[in-house]
Structures are given as C-alpha cells and as structure tokens.
Structure 1
Amino acid sequence: MFDVSLLYELKKGNREAFNGVFRYYYPRVMAYVASMVEEKVAEDIVQDIFLYVWENRAKLYVSDGFHSYLFQSAYTRCLDYFKKNLSVEKYHSHTYEKYLEDYQNLLEGDNPVIEELSMKDFYRRLYELLELLPEQRREVFVLAYIKGLTAKEVSEQIQMPQRTVESHLYLALKFLKKHMSKNDYYLLCLFLLSRGIYA
C-alpha cells in the first residue's frame, strides 16, 4: 500500500521520498503506457512524467488523487505522441498516409455521408471487440471511454475501488490494441482525444 506521507516529504524536496514514489508508481505507470505505445517510447514518456513531478514538487497537490493524476498525465502524453508521431514514425507507408489524409478530410466535414459510414463501421468493430471483454471490464470501459466518466465517477457509480477501475481500463486498452487493426486503434485514440478524456 502506498504511503501518502511520501508525497508530503517529496513536496519538501526530499530525494529519498521521491525515490520511494518512483519505485512504487513507475512499474504501474510503465505497464499502462506500454499498453498504448512501443516500450522505448513508453520509457521516455514515463521518465518525463516523473521528471516533471520532481521539478514541480513545490506545487504538488498532496491527496489520494495523485494516483489518478499520474495516469491522466500518462494518457495525455500518449495521445500527444499519437497526434505528433504516429503517422510519420511507425506507420509511414504510402497507404497509411493516404488513409490519414482521407480521414482528416472527413473530420473537416468534406464528406459527412462517408464519414458517417466510416465511423459506423468503426463502432461496429469496436463493440464486437467489447463484447469479448469480461462483463465488468466492458461496463467500466463504456462508462469511462464512451460515456466520458472519470475513473473516480465510475468507481462511485458501480461501487468498485478506483484502482480496480483503472486496472480494468488498462487491461481493456491492452486488449483492444492487440486485436484492433492499426487504423482502428488510431481512430480509437482520435476518438478519445476528441472527447477530451484524461486531457
């Protein structure tokens, strides 16, 4: 169990307290981020998060919400990575670039009919995969990522510990990344970003 007093000491600049926070949270945040991006990128993102925490320790808000703050920061940085790097670094084939170009045109409203059909197809595939999740995990995913509730709100609504909710979300994303096509997973990230989830 995490000792919240470490956060008070970290706020004062205690390096050992920071090391304790790092040791406890690093593997958890790393596993979460690595479910969305390549391991090397995940390492960079997580290190940046903890560097930010250390450099801004004086402004640290000490509460039980620190756990959620770390995961929200991680999710936001992953989405930023997708926005900036996905099409140019990992999926730079001509076909994929053309797909992104076409999809961008759809987002700009150039062809609302095609956009609607495209998104209906995406949602159909998404919900087919969601049906394969355990019932409780599927419920958590829908409440958080489709209906837009925070992990805390989901926790309160279904009477489940917040960390269990976050674990379900992590496992659901990991499952979807594994079973979705590259295009669909990119669309999922765009969808979540457009809803401002964890932003």
Structure 2
Amino acid sequence: MSEGNKIHPFKIDLAAFTCLFRDHYPNLSAYACLFVDEEAAEDIVQEVFVYVWENKENISIHTSIKAYLFKATYTRCLNYINRQKMLSINHRHIENDLRAYQLSFFDPDKNETIRKLYMDDLRNEIDRAIESLPQKCREVFTLSYIKDMPNKEISQLLEISESTVEKHINHALKVLRQLLHAKLTLFFLAFLI
C-alpha cells in the first residue's frame, strides 16, 4: 500500500483541535463562500468542525486532514445548496397553492356575493348599452327582447312595418354586441364553461 492510500486514524485532543480550527477555519470559510453566502459558509464550516470533534474516534483519513476538511466543506456546501433548492421549490408550491386558495374565494361559481356583484355590474352595462340606442331602436328592442313580443305585434303597436322592426332589432343587436363584447366574453367564460 502506497503512502497516499494509507489510512490514518484521526486521534486529536482539545489543544490540537483548537489549533486545527484556528489554522483552517479562515481558509475553509473563504472556500465555502465560493458556493454560499457568508453566513451559511460560517455555519457550514462550524458544522464540519463540530462533526470532526464529535466523531474524532471514528474518522479515518485517507489523505491529509486539510484535504479531508476541504472535501467535507465542499460536500456540505452542495448539500446546503440542494436543500435550499428544495425549500425554494416547496415554498413556491405552497405560495401557488395559497394563491389559488385565496383566488377561489373570488370564484363566482363558489361565492354568491361575487356572482351578485358581477351580475349587477353586467346588468348595469346592459342597461347603459340599451339606453345608448336611438329611441325607436331602443323601443323595438325592449318590446322584442325584454317583453318578448313577436315582431308582428311590435309592428302593429308602433305602426311600423315588420321589416323596419327587424332592421331596428338587427341594428340594436349589432350595437349591443360591440358595446358588450368584452363583458359578455368574460361572463360566458365565467359562467358557461
């Protein structure tokens, strides 16, 4: 067995450990800062030294103590980074779940107050759109769609031809469709899908 592959049992007393800590802590902390922030680097290096002290009777070193400490620091830095990634992913999942849960309170299918507000708002938009129609057109549309009268009765009541009734209805529908397009799209998406 060559000298490089030889296993060296690690036996150390408190004085020797204190010297080891004092000699290597600054370099190990600087090395760990290549991977993580300064606070995490200090914690990681301290954990390495605590592990070494607590397991001094069971540690076998295949290289130098310096190489062992750098490798232990490197491994702990990678573990820390992986833990942080997992925490970040879990945190994002929790945030997304919480956001979805909060948004569910505003779902008109699940919240009668929101549905009523939306319906009242939509009703007001429809009323304003109808009010914006020319008088005769508005009158014909109201009789046809609100009062559900057939075109023939509207024609007789208003003393206009049925073709004029149809023209007023078509014009009213075109204008309302343009004015309410965005609102109706949202309405149908919210309630009909």
Q: Bigger relative contact order, structure 1 or 2, given CA contacts below 8 A and separation 6+?
A: 1
Q: Which of structures 1 and 2 has the bigger CA Rg? A: 2
> How would you bin the TM-score normalised by the shorter chain?
0.3 to 0.5
> What TM-score does the superposition give when structure 1 sets the normalisation length?
0.37
> What TM-score does the superposition give when structure 2 sets the normalisation length?
0.38
